[in-house]
Amino acid sequence: MNVIQTKLPGVLVLEPQLFGDERGYFLETWRSTRYEDAGIPGPFVQDNVAFSGKGILRGLHFQHPQSQGKLVQVLSGEVLDVAVDVRVGSPTFGQWVGERLSEANHRQMYVPPGFAHGYCVLSETALFSYKCTDFYSPEAEIGIIWNDPDLDIEWPITAPVVSPKDAGHPSLKEIPPDRLPHFGGG
């Protein structure tokens, strides 16, 4: 497995080893020891799958407290996956990184606790899978508006389809600091 560091410490891109021939391919998407050696702590306690059509944008979401780390991948289609550092006091607070994940490149991205996460679908449809280090908690869920001008995320679509809930999220600077995770814990 190839592990690629991003500009945001802790956010990793992973390229699992692919074994293929004329019949198809096989790849291992999770093995606790291998991923722990790569810097991805477990345990993962919940797996989710989302299906979306072209132009749909989901996010930007995070939980605090009860922050979640997420190991994400695309089983079918292609997305631009984005992580934003929302940890108060972090040297990279408010910075983002994006990675194209697809069924063709088999890449995964690890988004640690303390980061907001979102993605937009670039293919006709996408089947998106993610493992979480903590359970979903509606009471802890927080969102940031997808087009926050201070974040200036370079989404590759100009008019995404977003849910009413996601369209109503505040900008990062409108969220009180006590509602955000803190660098180094808390």
**Catalytic member of 35, 61, 117, 119:** 61
Catalytic, 35? Answer no
- Residue of 123, 130, 120 whose CA lies nearest to 103: 123
**Backbone torsions φ then ψ of 37, nearest 5 degrees:** -60, -30
The single-letter DSSP state of residue 170 is: P
Buried b / exposed e across 124-159, counting CB within 10 Å, b at 16+?
eebbbbbbbbbeeeeebebbbbbbbeebebeeeeee
**Catalytic member of 35, 110, 119, 130:** 130
Catalytic, 119? Answer no
Spatial separation of the C-alpha atoms in residues 152 and 144, rounded to whole Å: 12
- Residue of 93, 88, 94, 81 whose CA lies nearest to 64: 88
Residues with catalytic roles: 61, 130
